[in-house]
């Protein structure tokens, strides 16, 4: 009885959780809606670059698919960055200052990785129709990922010349776009 009552009440809360998830639209429209309203044009272009391979221009998809693709893409990028930094540390081809920054950055990315892994799984369930809700409070997850990636970017920015800085800023921007696409489907 208790379980039934609980699941009923969570269904009621969840019902309005992700109101835009199943709206069909093109990726251009999704990117336009997600990134306009005062956001810089580069974000719109980056959004389209993130989506165009899996959802070609002009084709219609549910909005949750765009959010899902973007979350998965940034999650994969986090692994690449961690891999790159770990091998740079092992190769010890970098100065001590960068060494310390990389170690802290790996920790930042581990946190972002765990956060975005939860997020992409929740979005995938919404996309597959296994869940009507986004898992609640995904905004916090995106913000936590942004915070972690931003922390690493700031560490690298203090180094005199880090080959990874541009890369990290790009990943920060992509995480921001993923968040905007999450907001488009109405995550809270």
Ligand X SMILES: *[C@@H]1O[C@H](CO)[C@@H](O)[C@H](O)[C@H]1NC(C)=O
Report how far residue 74's alpha carbon sits from residue 145's, in angstroms, rounded to the nearest whole number.
10
Q: Using the rule CB under 6 A, is 89 a contact of ligand X?
A: no
Q: Using the rule CB under 6 A, is 183 a contact of ligand X?
A: no
- Say if CB 148 and CB 160 are below 8 A apart: no
* Helix (H) or strand (E) run with residue 60 in it: strand 60-62
Q: Using the rule CB under 6 A, is 88 a contact of ligand X?
A: yes
Among residue numbers 44 through 83, which ones bind ligand X (CB under 6 A)?
none
Among 9, 24, 36, 110, binds ligand X (CB under 6 A): 24
Among 111, 124, 169, 183, binds ligand X (CB under 6 A): 169
Among residue numbers 114 through 153, which ones bind ligand X (CB under 6 A)?
136-137, 140
| Beta-bridge mates of residue 24 | 62
Report how far residue 105's alpha carbon sits from residue 57's, in angstroms, rounded to the nearest whole number.
35
CB 160 → ligand X: shortest distance, Å?
A: 18
- Say if CB 181 and CB 47 are below 8 A apart: yes
What is the CA angle 148-152-158, rounded to 5?
145
Site size for ligand X, by CB under 6 A?
Answer: 19
The residues of the shown chain that bind ligand X, judged by CB under 6 A, are 22-24, 40, 42-43, 84, 87-88, 91, 93, 136-137, 140, 166, 169-170, 173, 188
């Amino acid at each position: 009885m208790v379980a039934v009552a609980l699941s009923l009440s969570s269904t009621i809360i969840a019902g309005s959780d992700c109101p835009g998830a199943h709206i069909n639209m093109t990726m251009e429209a999704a990117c336009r809606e997600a990134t306009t309203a005062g956001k810089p044009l580069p974000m719109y272009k980056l959004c389209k670059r993130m989506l165009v391979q899996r959802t070609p221009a002009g084709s219609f998809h549910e909005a949750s698919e765009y959010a899902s693709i973007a979350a998965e893409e940034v999650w994969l990028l986090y692994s690449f960055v961690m891999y790159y930094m770990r091998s740079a540390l092992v190769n010890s081809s970098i100065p001590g200052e960068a060494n310390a920054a990389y170690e802290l950055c790996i920790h930042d990315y581990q946190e972002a990785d765990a956060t975005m892994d939860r997020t992409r799984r929740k979005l995938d369930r919404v996309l597959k129709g296994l869940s009507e809700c986004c898992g609640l409070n995904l905004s916090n997850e995106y913000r936590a990922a942004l915070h972690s990636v931003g922390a690493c970017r700031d560490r690298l920015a203090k180094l005199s010349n880090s080959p990874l800085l541009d890369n990290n800023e790009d990943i920060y921007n992509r995480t921001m776009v993923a968040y905007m696409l999450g907001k488009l489907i109405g995550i809270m």
